[in-house]
């Protein structure tokens, strides 16, 4: 009798575990779904926007870009001077050139993180 009880306990434990495993597996699709949603957000976070370089001011490290709406920094279409992240970005900017660029708000300073000719 004792054996029977321990067997049924074991069986229900095993059943419980497999149910748990099933539930966990079922949940995997949820997080997996939101993970891919999150990674598309990440992609959006590094997305490049179209713009046209209007002016490059080497001494101040500023690049004036005419651009459309920049969703990640909540900026409507405008022409505005932004800080180049570094010398590389500054060198890639040439007046009059159509570019793809990435603007980010770094501690309150709108900064061009990447810029390339398109």
Give the Å distances, CA to CA, from 94 to 29, 36, 51, 56.
47, 37, 12, 7
Contact 65, 82 (CB under 8 A): yes
Q: Toward Cu ion, which CB reaches closer, 82 or 92?
A: 82
Q: Toward Cu ion, which CB reaches closer, 6 or 105?
A: 105
Q: Toward Cu ion, which CB reaches closer, 20 or 71?
A: 71
Phi, psi of 43 (to 5 degrees): -60, -40
- Please, what is the minimum distance in Å from the beta carbon of residue 90 to Cu ion? 18
Contacting positions for Cu ion (CB under 5 A): 75, 78, 80
- Please, what is the minimum distance in Å from the beta carbon of residue 30 to Cu ion? 38
């Amino acid at each position: 009798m004792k054996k029977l009880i321990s067997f049924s306990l074991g069986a229900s434990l095993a059943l419980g575990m497999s149910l748990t495993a099933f539930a966990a597996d079922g949940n995997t699709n949820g997080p997996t779904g939101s993970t891919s949603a999150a990674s598309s957000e990440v992609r959006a976070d590094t997305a490049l926007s179209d713009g046209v370089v209007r002016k490059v001011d080497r001494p101040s490290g500023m690049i004036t870009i005419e651009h459309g709406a920049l969703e990640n920094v909540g900026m409507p279409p405008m022409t505005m001077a932004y800080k180049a992240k570094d010398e590389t970005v500054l060198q890639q900017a040439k007046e009059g050139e159509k570019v793809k660029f990435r603007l980010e708000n770094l501690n309150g300073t709108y900064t061009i993180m990447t810029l390339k000719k398109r």
